[in-house]
Amino acid sequence: VEEGVVLHEHGLAELHVHIEGTFEPELIFALAERNRIELPYRDLDDLRGRYEFGDLTSFLDLYYANMDVLRTAQDFADLARAYFARAAQAGITRAEFFFDPQAHTARGVELREVVDGLADAAAGARREYGIDAAMIASIVRDRPVAEANDTFTDLMKMQAPIIALGLDSAEVGYPPSLFEDVFARARAEGLRITAHAGEEGPPEYVRQALDLLGAERIDHGIRSLEDPELVARLVDEQIPLTACPLSNVRLRVVDTLADHPLRRMLEAGLSVSVNSDDPAYFGGYVDDTFSALREQLGLTDEERQVLADNSMRAAFL
Ligand code: HPA
Ligand code: ZN
């Protein structure tokens, strides 16, 4: 079967992608060289050999380590530009991408550099590819709560062009309830709300994200399936779940793609979409994900169209 751009009738939105997770090994090496930083890897193959993960934390260790070479607005713009070029190939028409402000400010990079670089690339995505791109600042939940509040203050002071506030990083032990205050502030500012919940954490974290943070979407949410009452609520309220099947396999949330509950989720009436999460780390972008789902889960063209329509309906437009 020919691969390439598949145009979805009403567009295709990617709602769950961490821009730092689109950092491909070649670009990591190029930016290390430009910034004269010595990487702790012998060569590209040495780095590529480390993309084997046992759980979320083992992935996050490498994901945060590689960010060390991102220093200037130019670096962040180059990172995002590379993603948009690839997203255009994947047929994406709307991209709502996460960035982790604290992952950069905590190592001495000015928030301005991060936001300006990403915003510049997002504006270019529209001009070059017709991709409607929007930024979601994400709270790094395994860092101090006070830092989350300060980061949000800084984002508001600089009038960062963000459409939403998200919540990511190591989940278990860092329940949404910790972050009620900063999410209340975000809602008061008119921002949209999404949160990672139910990836490795329990269904209770999904409830907290909805009830305590005001989340309008749930990122991953796959462990909601353990709780029939929660599933009934998610169906009833049509809360979008941004599924990331390749991520779930690589981080061992599911054993194989063939075991992924995506079809069960569709059949249950959940509003689910397909996303790439950290495509440079998990073996593919959204088009690769759809191909793999067709081959290993027997995903039909009709199901694929439903997933694409769900993504557009779940977008913060
Ligand atoms: N889960 C939580 N935090 C993350 C992820 C993820 O899959 N990717 C980047 N930050
Ligand atoms: Zn994610």
Residue ranges making up the domain that contains 187: 13-312
74 Cα to the center of ligand 1, angstroms: 24
Q: What percent of the chain has pLDDT over 70?
A: 98
Over residues 284-305, mean pLDDT: 97
Instruction: Output the residue whose Cα is nearest ligand 1's atom 2.
Output: 169
- pLDDT for res 7: 66
C-alpha to C-alpha distance for 17 and 2, rounded to whole angstroms? 25
Q: What DSSP string describes 124-158? A: HHHHHH--EEEEEEEEETTS-HHHHHHHHHHHHHT
* Amino acid, res. 108: G
Q: Cβ(141) to ligand 1 under 6 A?
A: no
Over residues 250-259, mean pLDDT: 97
Q: Cβ(200) to ligand 1 under 6 A?
A: no
7 assigned to some structural domain: no
Check if the beta carbon of residue 93 is closer than 8 Å to that of residue 54. no
Report H helices in 212-299: 228-236, 245-250, 262-267, 279-282, 286-297
Over residues 278-292, mean pLDDT: 98
Q: What angle do CA 43, 47, 49 make, to 5 degrees?
A: 115
Measure Cα distances from 22 to 16, 67, 80, 112, 181 in Å: 12, 11, 8, 20, 30
170-197 per-position pLDDT tens digit: 999 999 999 999 999 999 999 999 999 9
290 assigned to some structural domain: yes
* Substitution site in 16, 18, 63 for ligand 1 pocket (most atoms within 8 Å of beta carbon): 18
Q: What percent of the chain has pLDDT over 90?
A: 97
- pLDDT for res 1: 35
Over residues 248-262, mean pLDDT: 97
Confidence band, pLDDT 50/70/90 cuts, at residue 2 = very low
225 assigned to some structural domain: yes
Over residues 268-286, mean pLDDT: 98
Per this entry, what is the length of the chain? 317
* pLDDT exceeds cutoff 90 at 245: yes
Over residues 278-286, mean pLDDT: 98
C-alpha to C-alpha distance for 181 and 270, rounded to whole angstroms? 29
* pLDDT exceeds cutoff 70 at 4: no
Q: Which of 20, 113, 199, 200 is catalytic?
A: 199
262-275 per-position pLDDT tens digit: 999 999 999 999 99
Q: Which atom of ligand 1 is nearest to the CA of 63?
A: 9
215 assigned to some structural domain: yes
Q: What angle do CA 40, 43, 48 make, to 5 degrees?
A: 90
Over residues 17-33, mean pLDDT: 98
Closest listed ligand to the CA of 20: 1
Q: Return the structure tokens found at 158.
A: 């600089």
317 assigned to some structural domain: no
Please give the distance of CA 261 from its chain centroid, rounded to a whole number: 19
C-alpha to C-alpha distance for 91 and 283, rounded to whole angstroms? 18
* Substitution site in 278, 281, 289 for ligand 1 pocket (most atoms within 8 Å of beta carbon): 278
**What is the count of structural domains for the chain?**
1
**Whole-number average pLDDT of the chain:** 97
Q: Which atom of ligand 1 is nearest to the CA of 278?
A: 8
Confidence band, pLDDT 50/70/90 cuts, at residue 8 = confident
4 assigned to some structural domain: no
9 catalytic? Reply is no
125-149 per-position pLDDT tens digit: 999 999 999 999 999 999 999 999 9
5 assigned to some structural domain: no
Residue ranges of E strands in the chain: 13-18, 94-99, 132-140, 162-168, 192-197, 217-220, 240-243, 271-274
CATH code for the domain of 27: 3.20.20.140
Closest listed ligand to the CA of 63: 1
* Substitution site in 56, 140, 142, 254 for ligand 1 pocket (most atoms within 8 Å of beta carbon): 56
* pLDDT exceeds cutoff 90 at 9: no
Q: Cβ(219) to ligand 1 under 6 A?
A: no
221 assigned to some structural domain: yes
